Structure 1
Amino acid sequence: MLPLIKRKVGETMVRTMTIDDYDEVYALWMSIHGFGIRSIDDTKEGVEMFLKRNPTTSAVDVEDGKIVGAILCGHDGRRACLYHVCVSEKYRMHGIGKKMVEFCCEQLKKEKINKVCLNAFVTNTVGNKFWQKMGWTLRTDLNYYDFALNEDNLTIFNK
């Protein structure tokens, strides 16, 4: 088990994500066991397009000069979605995920967005436990469908 990093109570280092953060964010994604990366959407070019469409709503948490948490957050003018919510394994259980989610939600409220959703893989026990603890509602009243417009945009999971 990785050692936990102590944080000062109430300390927050959450800020808006920019494309300059990409290399560190990508390295964070690659460090997390079971994390799913899209072969096209999660390239630097794909993330740059996403951030240009949503310049204020994504977040990173910086500790000791390095990014230890990240969320891609965007909206269509009506509903927002969180993607790739993650915290480095050794920085977990210190409120970083909660602070980043709160940051994103505050940014969305400024843009008059009233609802936010996310997808969590059923096998992601850590993530699902986090969302339940945060008070998010697991929807059982609808079916989720998607359709691949580009078959080359594959999800690859870290081992």
Structure 2
Amino acid sequence: MLLQSASGMSFDTVVPRERYPLTRSAITSTRAVRNPTPPMNRQRHPHVLALAHSIEGCPMNAVIHYSDQHHRSAVVALWKTVFNDSAPHNRPDLSIDMKLAVADQLFFVAIADGHVAGTVLAGYDGHRGWLYSVAVDPQYRGQGLGTLLVLHAEQALVDRGCIKINLQIRTSNEGVQAFYESLGYFQEPLISMGKRIAFMSTPNT
């Protein structure tokens, strides 16, 4: 079964990573667009067609923007299963509301057999892109769905002019590092730091 992009276009191949538009001409053409709304015509940059393909054994229907409140309970359940993080600021329902409030159209869900099978959140501030909450339902793992979600989010960031994407991995989840390395990510000589300022913060969370 062919997978559909959020724009409704069907594809059966994956565009090689080396074909992302990181040339000066492509960067120039996309940087001029600062509106956070993604371009509706994904063929505006011929080197970055929407990323989607048929995954053997994975009855996918689509990777789409999160826009249906019927997806909410499924996303909450998936994140509780996959991330198992009880910190107040990581509550799934709160994370969903805060992401939707930004209205950047960078919240994607994978739908399989009419159900939420995976998620990915992306962010872009005009300088760097970020990936968050890459999650796949355990029953769909090992079929390439995680790769598809990441590539789909990368496509959306590239459409906005992003030339570098960052992500963070918990030390308790180092096993996922190989997955991201297979997609071209690498460990950088940096120290990740954070400052908790949200009102719901409590000590040691």
1:133 Cα shift?
A: 1.8
1:135 Cα shift?
A: 1.9
Aligned pairs, how many? 148
The answer to whether structure 1 residue 52 and structure 2 residue 98 are counterparts is no
- 1: CA distance, partners of 2:80 / 2:143: 21
Tell me: CA distance 1:46–1:108, structure 2 relative to 1, closer, same or farther (3 Å).
same
1:144 Cα shift?
A: 1.0
The answer to whether structure 1 residue 28 and structure 2 residue 67 are counterparts is no
Equivalent residue letter for 2:98: M
Q: 1:147 matched to which residue of 2?
A: 195
Residues 66-105 of structure 1: pairs in structure 2 closer than 5 A: 66-105=115-154
The answer to whether structure 1 residue 117 and structure 2 residue 166 are counterparts is yes
Structure with greater Cα Rg: 2
What percent of counterpart residues are identical? 22
Checking the alignment, whether the CA contact within 8 Å between 1:122 and 1:128 is kept in structure 2 is: no
Checking the alignment, whether the CA contact within 8 Å between 1:19 and 1:47 is kept in structure 2 is: no
- 1: CA distance, partners of 2:154 / 2:103: 13
Q: Normalising to structure 1: TM-score of the pair? A: 0.79
1:12 Cα shift?
A: 5.7
Q: Which has the higher strand share?
A: 1
**Unaligned stretches of 5+ residues in structure 2:** 1-55
Runs of 4+ in 1 over 4 A off after TM superposition: none
Checking the alignment, whether the CA contact within 8 Å between 1:73 and 1:80 is kept in structure 2 is: yes
1:126 Cα shift?
A: 3.7
- SS of 1:49's equivalent in the other structure is helix
